[in-house]
């Protein structure tokens, strides 16, 4: 004898996982269909709707987030070596999550790990969307996995806008670096060292391009011996600066692509018996808390990391709930902050 439908549902109510399994898609795709969200292929949407009808599925109290009536779960993935940058990023995300009634899941992403396993684990834990700050915003394998799984994500600081892809929040890295180089030139410096950031991040190449553009604009020849590769870490900045300061004709100023490397430059100057800024001007990028806690305080580009994180989470929630307007990309303003680590060349 067949058990009545009502009793079957009481003893084994269909779940969102059941719908996803029948429709051959992820639970997050089911969530987006229920929410009326964007970015789901028409055939996938039809398969989900058919599975919902076949299973007689209805979101219950435990699944209210699928209907947008409760907290969303958002994963902030990170692999950035700079604790100062991560601190700013996390504060922005926490502030936005509180305002938007979203639950923030913070997850370290091992570059050597399997992104498919991590994504499967997080989606199994009912994560609705992903925030990808540097360097993960430039990780093509991770982005491909999320796109194929039709999981919403927003990039933070990718250095470039995406076309028909994930949303993104950034600054104009090239123009900011060009402005900083112009500022150093205005102080009278012509031998200006430059330390490149992580070569795997698009922002690194843009900041180098800004440095080169400002020198060309001022008719100052680009001296390739004054350019060193870094990794956005304190140690890489120190090592690169030691190389630059060992040159027969050392630079009178060094522009490092982030504050961590600039702090390493100051340490290298002290090791070399040089005073900052009397003997060497040092400038950074980001204006993390480190910039105003070391001595001397750093001249730097203020990248609004907290605001970028907040804007990215806002955009992600709009994507999940299907309320995004516009192309999903935003470029925020930066500011050049002069402090004690600079001096006019006499």
Q: Which two tokens stand for residue 17?
A: 């996982």
Contact 201, 212 (CB under 8 A): no
Task: Return d(Cα 40, Cα 147) in angstroms, integer.
Answer: 10
The CATH number of 173-303 is 3.40.50.2300
How confident is the model at residue 53, as a pLDDT?
82
Three-class SS state of 329: strand
Q: How are beta strands 167-170 and 253-256 bridged, if at all?
A: unpaired
The reported pLDDT for the residue numbered 4 is 37
Judged by DSSP in three states, 295 sits in coil
Contacts 24+ apart (CB under 8 A), 23-27: 23/47, 23/48, 23/50, 23/51, 25/150, 26/123, 26/149, 26/150, 26/151, 27/123, 27/124, 27/126
- Tally the C-alpha atoms within 13 A of residue 139's C-alpha that lie toward its C-beta: 27
Per-residue pLDDT at 54: 86
Q: How many CB atoms lie within 10 A of CB 127?
A: 21
pLDDT averages per 10-residue partition of the chain, 346 residues: 37 70 78 65 84 74 43 87 88 90 88 77 83 91 84 87 78 97 98 96 96 98 97 97 97 98 98 97 96 97 94 89 67 96 95
**Choices 2.30.30.40, 1.10.3720.10, 1.10.260.40, 1.10.10.10: CATH for 5-66:** 1.10.260.40
What pLDDT score does 27 carry?
Answer: 67
CA dist list (Å): 306 to 29, 119, 157, 302: 29, 25, 12, 11
Res 294: pLDDT: 96
Q: In 3D, which of 17, 324, 337 has the Cα closest to residue 154?
A: 324
- Per-domain residue ranges of the chain: 5-66, 71-171+305-332, 173-303
Write out the H or E segment, with its range, that includes residue 2: none
Torsion 108-256-289-306 (CA) sign: negative
Between CA 241 and CA 228 the distance in angstroms is 8
- Give residue for tokens 């410096």: 189
Beta bridge partners of 228: 195
Give the model's pLDDT for residue 64: 42
| Domain spanning 71-171+305-332: CATH 3.30.460.80 | no
C-alpha to C-alpha distance for 225 and 164, rounded to whole angstroms: 40
- For residue 331, the cross-strand partners are 170
Please check whether the two domains, 5-66 and 173-303, share a CATH topology.
no
Nearest-CA neighbor of 334 among 180, 195, 229, 227?
Answer: 180
Q: For residue 49, what pLDDT is reported?
A: 84
pTM of the model: 0.78
CA angle at 276 for the pair 274 and 282, rounded to the nearest 5°:
115
* pLDDT at residue 1 in the model: 38
């Amino acid at each position: 004898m067949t058990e009545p439908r009502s009793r079957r549902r009481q003893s084994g109510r269909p779940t969102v996982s059941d719908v996803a399994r029948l429709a051959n898609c992820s639970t997050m795709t089911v969530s987006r269909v229920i929410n009326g969200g964007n970015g789901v292929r028409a055939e996938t949407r039809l398969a989900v709707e058919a599975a919902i009808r076949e299973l007689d599925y209805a979101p219950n109290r435990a699944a209210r987030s699928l209907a947008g009536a409760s907290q969303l779960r958002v994963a902030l993935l990170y692999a950035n070596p700079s604790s100062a940058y991560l601190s700013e990023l996390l504060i922005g995300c926490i502030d936005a999550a509180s305002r938007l009634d979203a639950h923030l899941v913070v997850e370290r992403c091992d570059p050597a790990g399997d992104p498919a396993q991590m994504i499967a684990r997080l989606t199994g834990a009912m994560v609705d969307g992903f925030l990808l700050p540097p360097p993960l915003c430039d990780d093509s394998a991770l982005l491909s996995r999320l796109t194929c799984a039709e999981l919403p994500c927003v990039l933070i600081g990718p250095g470039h806008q995406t076309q028909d892809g994930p949303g993104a929040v950034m600054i104009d890295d090239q123009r900011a670096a060009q402005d900083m180089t112009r500022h150093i030139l205005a102080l009278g410096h012509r031998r200006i060292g430059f330390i490149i950031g992580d070569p795997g991040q698009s922002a690194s190449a843009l900041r180098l391009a800004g440095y080169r553009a400002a020198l060309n604009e001022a008719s100052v020849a680009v001296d390739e011996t004054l350019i060193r590769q870094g990794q956005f870490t304190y140690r890489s900045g120190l090592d690169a600066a030691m190389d630059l300061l060992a040159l027969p004709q050392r630079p009178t100023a060094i522009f490092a692509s982030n504050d961590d490397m600039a702090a390493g430059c100051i340490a290298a100057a002290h090791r070399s018996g040089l005073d900052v800024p009397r003997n060497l001007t040092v400038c950074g990028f980001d204006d993390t808390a480190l910039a105003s806690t070391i001595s001397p305080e750093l001249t730097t580009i203020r990248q609004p990391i907290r605001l970028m994180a907040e804007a990215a989470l806002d955009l992600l929630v709009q994507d999940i709930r299907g309320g995004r307007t516009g192309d999903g990309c935003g470029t925020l303003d930066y500011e050049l902050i002069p402090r004690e680590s600079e001096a006019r060349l006499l």
